């Protein structure tokens, strides 16, 4: 696979698959750059995509109860701050762990061989210490929640631990990523209510399919290299049928989100019409991704992958405006 020009002219202290003008290179000392790269701080799209299911769930959970003096229908601001910090820390820890596991593979793939571990700019020992430090930040965030949410958060570690190995044994590693990256759809609800219900489970299932969809687009960047080194992916599995697969994955995502909203309630409780309107807009954004996709253009795959951050904003703002609508017009149905 020929590498885009953007990737072939990076300095030796940068990585080829990340922007070379990111803010981390302006604010951090040069000695810290390899660790920022290990944590993917120069690629914020990862923690943003990890954060969205948390924020969606945190915004959906209060709408299970009618707006009142006790429940405004708006998410807990402190929870949003915790999810923000936790997403950055745990995404960084997950990427560091993934790089430790995948050193042998990353050496063989053009897009990844410039990363800190395969390039030798960080030793395995130092990467493990950095992994523990990030995990401790994540733990400090987790213990701020109720006991049920703490237990649920700890349970996610099993999924995270297995994920890096899936590409060696299954064509569906993106599904494993979905299970891990969508866990926040359960956490936001659990942090608010101290329990789970059908609504967050449906939201979680939808987020899993969304993750499989966007990471399939991302994986098309490496399709040819993956075939050479024996790495499996849904990009290789779907191949020329990727657009059809995305229609099914993204369509099911929207359907499951709508069912999650309905499971939260209707009438005086549950999301109001702005949330459903946002689903329609989100579906249109997904359709645009599919229409624009060219699986043989790596740069275009990366750009489309990144637009899923916009999808996250659409769904989140729909839920926020839903709560504001309920507060302004509490008797309105939908």
Residue 8 within any structural domain of the chain: no
Res. 231 pLDDT band, cuts 50 70 90 = confident
Whether residue 145 is predicted with pLDDT greater than 70 in this model: the reply is yes
Whether residue 10 is predicted with pLDDT greater than 60 in this model: the reply is no
Mind giving me the DSSP string for 25-68?
A: HHHS-GGGHHHHHHTTTT-THHHHHHHHHHHHHHHHGGGGS-SS
Give tens-digit pLDDT for 179-228.
999 999 999 999 999 999 999 999 999 999 999 999 999 999 888 877 87
- Which residues, 6+ apart, have CB-to-CB distance to 121 below 8 Å? 13, 34
Give tens-digit pLDDT for 166-183.
988 999 999 999 999 999
Taking a C-beta distance cutoff of 8 angstroms, is the pair 37, 126 a contact? no
d(CA 58, CA 78): 11
Mind giving me the DSSP string for 119-149?
A: TTSS-HHHHHHHHHHHHHHHHHHHTTS-HHH
- Least confident window among 21-25, 66-70, 255-259: 66-70
Res. 329 pLDDT band, cuts 50 70 90 = confident
- Least confident window among 34-48, 111-125, 233-247, 286-300: 111-125
Res. 267 pLDDT band, cuts 50 70 90 = low
Residue 7 within any structural domain of the chain: no
Cβ count near 334 (within 10 Å): 14
Residue 16 within any structural domain of the chain: no
Res. 284 pLDDT band, cuts 50 70 90 = very high
Residue 22 within any structural domain of the chain: no
pLDDT higher for 302 or 328? 302
d(CA 245, CA 250): 8
d(CA 89, CA 203): 23
The proportion of the chain whose per-residue pLDDT surpasses 70, expressed as a percent, equals 90
| Mean pLDDT over the full length of the chain | 90
Closest CA to 323 of 74, 65, 66: 74
Residue 125 within any structural domain of the chain: yes
pLDDT at 107: 80
CATH code, 73 = 1.10.357.140
Query: What would the mean pLDDT of 27-44 be, rounded to a whole number?
Result: 91
Closest CA to 300 of 287, 286, 290, 312: 290
CA atoms within 13 A on the CB side of 55: 23
d(CA 202, CA 277): 19
Mind giving me the DSSP string for 186-251?
A: HHHHHHHHSS--HHHHHHHHHHHHHHHHHHHHHHGGGHHHHHHHT---HHHHHGGGHHHHHHHHHH
Res. 11 pLDDT band, cuts 50 70 90 = low
Q: Is the dihedral of CA 294, 295, 299, 302 positive or negative?
A: positive
Whether residue 266 is predicted with pLDDT greater than 90 in this model: the reply is no
pLDDT at 4: 40
d(CA 193, CA 57): 11
Cβ count near 103 (within 10 Å): 14
Whether residue 3 is predicted with pLDDT greater than 60 in this model: the reply is no
Residue 222 within any structural domain of the chain: yes
Query: What would the mean pLDDT of 248-263 be, rounded to a whole number?
Result: 97
Taking a C-beta distance cutoff of 8 angstroms, is the pair 80, 58 a contact? yes
Residue 2 within any structural domain of the chain: no
Residue 10 within any structural domain of the chain: no
Task: Give the residue numbers spanning the domain of 35.
Answer: 27-328
pLDDT at 7: 41
pLDDT higher for 133 or 109? 133
Q: How many domains does the chain have?
A: 1
Q: What is the pTM of this model?
A: 0.90
């Amino acid at each position: 696979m020929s590498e885009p020009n953007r990737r072939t002219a990076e300095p030796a202290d940068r990585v080829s698959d990340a922007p070379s003008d990111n803010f981390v290179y302006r604010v951090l000392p040069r000695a810290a750059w390899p660790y920022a790269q290990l944590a993917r701080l120069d690629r914020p799209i990862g923690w943003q995509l990890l954060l969205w299911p948390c924020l969606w769930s945190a915004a959906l959970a209060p709408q299970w109860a009618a707006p009142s003096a006790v429940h405004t229908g708006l998410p807990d601001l402190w929870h949003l701050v915790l999810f923000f910090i936790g997403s950055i820390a745990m995404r960084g820890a997950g990427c560091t762990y993934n790089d430790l596991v995948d050193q042998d593979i990353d050496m063989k793939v053009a897009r990844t061989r410039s990363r800190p571990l395969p390039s030798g700019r960080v030793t395995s020992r130092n990467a493990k210490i950095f992994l523990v430090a990030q995990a401790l930040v994540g733990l400090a965030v987790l213990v701020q929640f109720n006991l049920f949410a703490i237990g649920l958060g700890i349970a996610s570690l099993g999924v995270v631990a297995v994920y890096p190995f899936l590409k060696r044994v299954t064509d569906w590693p993106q599904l494993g990523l979905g299970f891990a990256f969508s866990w926040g759809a359960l956490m936001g609800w659990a942090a608010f209510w101290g329990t789970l219900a059908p609504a967050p489970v449906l939201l979680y299932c939808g987020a899993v399919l969304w993750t499989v969809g966007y990471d399939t687009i991302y994986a098309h960047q490496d399709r040819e290299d993956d075939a050479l080194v024996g790495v499996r992916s849904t990009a290789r599995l779907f191949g020329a049928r990727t657009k059809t697969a995305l229609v099914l994955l993204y369509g099911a995502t929207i359907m499951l989100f709508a069912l999650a909203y309905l499971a939260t309630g209707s009438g005086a409780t549950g999301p109001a019409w702005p949330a459903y309107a946002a689903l329609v807009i989100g579906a249109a954004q997904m359709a645009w991704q599919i229409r624009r996709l060219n699986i043989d253009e790596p740069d275009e795959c990366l750009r489309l992958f990144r637009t899923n951050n916009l999808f996250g904003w659409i769904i989140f703002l729909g839920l926020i405006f839903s709560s504001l609508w309920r507060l302004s017009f509490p008797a309105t149905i939908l």
